Structure 1
Amino acid sequence: MSQFYISEGITRRSGLSFLWSAAALAFAGAAVVLKASHSEAQTTGMERRGDRRSGRDDRRTERRTGRTTRREERRN
């Protein structure tokens, strides 16, 4: 079997080296593609999250203000 590789000019070591290089390039390419698509989705998601957060902050402020007002009325 090793004679087959030697006669073709490709050794096991160079064949594995080539496979590892191809796998590394594929992994790096996939990471770049995922990062680019993720950043676009993140922007839209961040806008929705900001809207939800501002709504929660407003409701919390109203609750706390109302609570303070009720406490002051009871104390007087």
Structure 2
Amino acid sequence: MEEIVLYGAQWCGDCRRAKTWLRENRVAFTEVDVEHDEAARERAIEIAGRKNIPVIVLLDGTVLVEPTNAELAAALGR
């Protein structure tokens, strides 16, 4: 995997917050819209084990579900 993957939706406040944090900290990521892509939605549920978003998959395979900004910072060593 070359970039962090964020599974989320436009209407999701936690997704918007996480994307803003990633952009502000210049962390490259790929966004996958689970609202309009059923296969992506199923994949996010499979990865997370639940339906909460955002689901963020880090380069090392670590999965974060609905992380706070502090949890993102800790996981990414920022």
Higher Rg: 1
Question: Would you tell me which structure has more strand in proportion to its own residues?
Answer: 2
TM-score range, shorter chain: under 0.3
Query: Which protein has greater RCO, CA pairs closer than 8 Å, 6+ apart?
Result: 2
TM-score normalised by the chain length of structure 2 = 0.20
TM-score normalised by the chain length of structure 1 = 0.20
